[in-house]
Amino acid sequence: MRASTLLSESVAVLGKELTSELRSRVALNAVGLFGLTTLIAVAYQIGPYRIQEQDRPHLLAALLWVILFFAATSGLSRVFVKEEDARTAKTLRLAARPLAVLAGKFLFNLILLSALYAFIVPLYCALMGYSVQGIASLALLLACGAVALSATSTMVAAIIARASGSTTLFAILSVPLVLPLLVMLIQGTRAAAGSTAIAAVLPALRGIVSLGGATLIISVYLFPVVWHD
Amino acid sequence: MSAVSVEFQSVGKRFGNRGVLAAVSGTLQRGRVLVVAGPNGAGKSTLLNILAGLLRPSRGEVVYREGDSPLPRAHWFERLGMAAPDMSVYEELSALENLRFFARLRGLHLDSQAMQGLLEELGLASKEQSRAVGTYSSGMKQRVKLAQAVLHEPAVLLLDEPSSNLDESGHAVVAGLVARFRERAAVAVATNDPREMAWADARIDLAL
Amino acid sequence: MPGAESLVWVAAVTVVIWLGLFAYCVGLARRVRRLEDES
Amino acid sequence: MTRARVRTLLQWALCVWLVLVILGAFFYAPSALGFKGESARIVFFHVPQAWVAVLAFCVNLVASLRYLRTRDALDDARAAAAARLGLVFSVLATVTGSLFANVMWNSFWNWDPREVSIVILLLIYAAYFALREAVPDEERRASLSAAYAVLAFVTMPFLVFVVPRIYWSLHPDTIIGATGKLKLQMDSRMLQVLLGSLVGFTGLFCWLYTLEVRLARVRLARAGREEA
């Protein structure tokens, strides 16, 4: 019936998100400033030399993900809440297929997250003196992590937008879903820092990809329910 | 595209223990404007939301028919144009960008001139059209919302308080719009305004 | 740790948990019965 | 009235069974080797509690999926009832496990993978109820919480199988060990009591669950009458 394809509609939603974001810069500022602030606080207070040699692999990997996770939370939760706040949700609901909305919002979150990682991770490595052996495997890990984390947070953002819209609720709902991911990501980062072989990060990577993939698939089924009711 | 009619039978809605709409029945069809009247809080917007398929009724049912066959719920939104106080357009985008966005979502291949023409018809001068909607007055925003509702020439048009925030000239624009769509779409208007009630071919009065 | 001491705490924990569960069950059963009788 | 009689009979049978399990745990089963004193006896209650917490999670998933299909308020009530019981039993499992850890390893909490798993389960239940609290509209509450339950269930295999497998664990392998088979060498009498306790706790869960559902049914019927 429809002349447009799901792909072109998703791209339209993504394009709208990006244009709005580039003009208002709400999410970008929130995520960037939050990330930078925590990074500087951590780097200033701990720095490259405070941590004992034997603790470095564990602590540096964990600290990195703590910074990345908290910076992301402030921005990712907004994707659907802002539609409800601006009263555009109903307009969008009538005009677009749910899957196009989900895909567009997911891609937007993915881009936001990737930008954050590209910005914070090199800075963190420089400021904390974190030498990573397997740069390729870390990049792979970050990419898969970004996909899995944006899948989860997009769905949770959709749920809270229909509930109360509070960031607190976003944190409460996303923590149990994100914790297993974070555990695997920290584990993988530690492995990547210590070895150049991709095989070292493979166990973590497998877990992240399957959890992220499962979340994406289930979202396709669940999102219309959340979006319409 | 053949005409779409909307039949609703003893439709009611309650939120928890609070009934907002008692059993209402009626029909929307081409050539007849249905006016839904009643004081604030009587359930006008609720009824329109139920007709649009945005809200599940607590009782009763809504049926869309295209020609003689019932239209599956999944296709309602494609046939539907709606403007309501709680349906804004994007403030960061200009009026034209908004229309372009909604046109792309609905798979329309409209050129800019058609969209500019529509906005002008609704009283938005062309020099205003590429400014961000956030800088508009509320009346101008209302005109963009109306443009969004009729952009795809819907077969069912639901207007909730279409003249809110509009001046005299705006009221005339809405009247023109309703007149234009009376012959090609099933139109419902929810209003308190006596001048708009005069458009009615059929009327439902809701009480508190 | 001597056996007797550990036995005491296991027994104490068990008693507390079972009393709690039992109270929950009885309270719930009573409420259901009352409501079902009323209607 | 026969149905009520069957119910009463089952209740008494369950009570007797559970008393037998408790007595068995203390007097029939021998004390476990390799554990401090008699502390291992808590296992007869700890493992079934964790099992019921997981079982409740599964019942919650089934009820949530059913709700999404039927849109029946009773299915939503079923999901909520299962989650409520799951919350209770996961708290119990966490507390007993933590007490046992304190006796065994002199620390209430050491972020063992299995402890992390049960805590995440606990957090999921807590989040589920936080979500329900936050939505005043009943239908929306039902569908949002059903969606969240299904979404949360995706992490389940990772909690039970994947995360404990990646990490080294202090926790004795039990029913679903990291290697997937029964590893703990158990005395046959201990195994009898443990299995009996599992059956008993499952029965207890069934009883509580049906009670909660009956309660919800009465409440819904009453609300329906008020409406009419």
Q: Give per-residue pLDDT as tens, A69-96.
A: 988 887 888 899 999 999 999 999 999 9
Write a three-state SS string for chain D.
CHHHHHHHHHHHHHHHHHHHHHHHHHHHCCCCCCCCCCHHHHHHHHHHHHHHHHHHHHHHHHHHHHHHHHCCHHHHHHHHHHHHHHHHHHHHHHHHHHHHHHHHHCCCCCCCHHHHHHHHHHHHHHHHHHHHHHCCCHHHHHHHHHHHHHHHHCCHHHHHHHHHHHCCCCCCCCCCCCCCCCCCCCCHHHHHHHHHHHHHHHHHHHHHHHHHHHHHHHHHHHHHHHHC
What is the per-residue pLDDT for A65? 94
Q: What is the rounded distance in angstroms from the CA atom of residue A223 to the CA atom of residue B15?
A: 23
Question: What would the pLDDT profile of B53-108 be if each residue is shown by its tens digit?
Answer: 999 888 899 999 998 899 998 889 999 999 999 999 999 999 999 999 999 999 88
Task: Kindly tell me whether chain C and chain D come into contact, counting contact as 3+ Cβ pairs under 8 Å.
Answer: yes
ipTM: 0.90
Residue B2 has pLDDT above 80, yes or no: no
What is the per-residue pLDDT for D57? 92
Chain D residues within an 8 Å CB radius of C31 = 215
**A96 has a chain B CB within 8 A of its CB:** yes
Q: Range with the lowest mean pLDDT among A100-114, A181-195, B52-66, D157-171?
A: D157-171
The tally of CA atoms less than 13 A away on the side-chain side of residue B121 is: 17
Confidence of residue B1 (pLDDT cuts 50, 70, 90): low
Confidence of residue D176 (pLDDT cuts 50, 70, 90): very low
Chain B residues within an 8 Å CB radius of A19 = 92-93, 97
Residues D78, D85 contacting (CB under 8 angstroms): no
Which residues is B159 bridged to in the sheet?
A: B83, B189
- Picking from A133, A121, A132, A109, the residue whose alpha carbon sits closest to that of residue A212 is A109
**A219 has a chain D CB within 8 A of its CB:** yes
Q: Does pTM surpass 0.80?
A: yes
Nearest Cβ partner for B107 among A4, A16, A229: A4
| Cα A130 to the center of its chain, rounded Å | 22
- Picking from D183, D176, D187, D64, the residue whose alpha carbon sits closest to that of residue D131 is D64
Q: What is the rounded distance in angstroms from the CA atom of residue A102 to the CA atom of residue A219?
A: 8
Chain B: residue whose CA lies nearest to D222? B17
Distance between B60 CA and the closest CA of chain D, angstroms: 14
What is the per-residue pLDDT for D96? 87
Contact call for D39 and C36, based on CB within 8 A: no
What is the per-residue pLDDT for C1? 44
Q: Supply the DSSP string of B9-38, one letter for each residue.
A: EEEEEEETTEEEEEEEEEEEBTTBEEEEE-
Residues D207, D14 contacting (CB under 8 angstroms): yes
Q: What is the rounded distance in angstroms from the CA atom of residue A229 to the CA atom of residue B7?
A: 22
Residues constituting chain B: 208
Distance between A19 CA and the closest CA of chain B, angstroms: 8
Chain D: residue whose CA lies nearest to B58? D139
Chain A residues within an 8 Å CB radius of B97 = 19
Contact call for D151 and A219, based on CB within 8 A: yes
Distance between C7 CA and the closest CA of chain D, angstroms: 5
What is the per-residue pLDDT for A228? 87
Token pair 């004081």 is found at: B39
Residues constituting chain A: 229
In chain B, DSSP finds a helix count (H) and a strand count (E) of 7, 9
Chain D contact residues (CB < 8 Å to B): 71, 136-139, 223, 226-227
Q: Range with the lowest mean pLDDT among A130-134, B81-85, C10-14, D90-94?
A: C10-14
Chain D: residue whose CA lies nearest to B57? D139
The mean of the pLDDT values for chain D is 82
> What is the CATH number that goes with domain B4-205?
3.40.50.300
Confidence of residue D182 (pLDDT cuts 50, 70, 90): very low
Q: What is the rounded distance in angstroms from the CA atom of residue B177 to the CA atom of residue A42?
A: 61
Contact call for D137 and B16, based on CB within 8 A: yes
Q: Supply the DSSP string of A70-138, one letter for each residue.
A: HHHHHHHTHHHHHHHHTT-HHHHHHHS-HHHHHHHHHHHHHHHHHHHHHHHHHHHHHHHT---S-HHHH
Token pair 């949770």 is found at: A156
Q: What is the rounded distance in angstroms from the CA atom of residue B59 to the CA atom of residue D160?
A: 44
Residue D216 has pLDDT above 60, yes or no: yes
Q: CB neighbours of A53 closer than 8 A, spacing ≥ 6?
A: none
Chain D: residue whose CA lies nearest to C30? D211
Of B21, B46, B56, B59, which to mutate for an interface test with D (greatest number of D Cβ within 10 Å)? B56
Chain C: residue whose CA lies nearest to D219? C35
Burial class (CB in 10 A: 0-12, 13-18, 19+), A182: middle
- Picking from D185, D189, D187, D174, the residue whose alpha carbon sits closest to that of residue D24 is D189
What is the per-residue pLDDT for B146? 95
**Region D42-69: what's the mean pLDDT?**
91
**A121 has a chain D CB within 8 A of its CB:** no
Token pair 């907004």 is found at: A78
The mean of the pLDDT values for chain A is 90
Confidence of residue D91 (pLDDT cuts 50, 70, 90): very high
Chain D residues within an 8 Å CB radius of A164 = 134-135
Q: Across the B/D interface, how many CB contacts are shorter than 8 Å?
A: 11
Of A154, A167, A172, which to mutate for an interface test with D (greatest number of D Cβ within 10 Å)? A172
Domain ranges of chain B: 4-205
Domain ranges of chain D: 42-227
Of A162, A168, A190, A209, which to mutate for an interface test with D (greatest number of D Cβ within 10 Å)? A162
**Chains contacting B (3 or more CB pairs within 8 Å):** A, D
- Picking from B50, B69, B70, B72, the residue whose alpha carbon sits closest to that of residue B61 is B50
Backbone region of residue D169 per phi and psi (left: phi > 0; alpha: psi in -120 to 50; beta: other values): beta
Cα torsion for C15, C17, C18, C19, to the nearest 10°? 80
Contact call for C35 and D96, based on CB within 8 A: no
**Region D105-120: what's the mean pLDDT?**
78
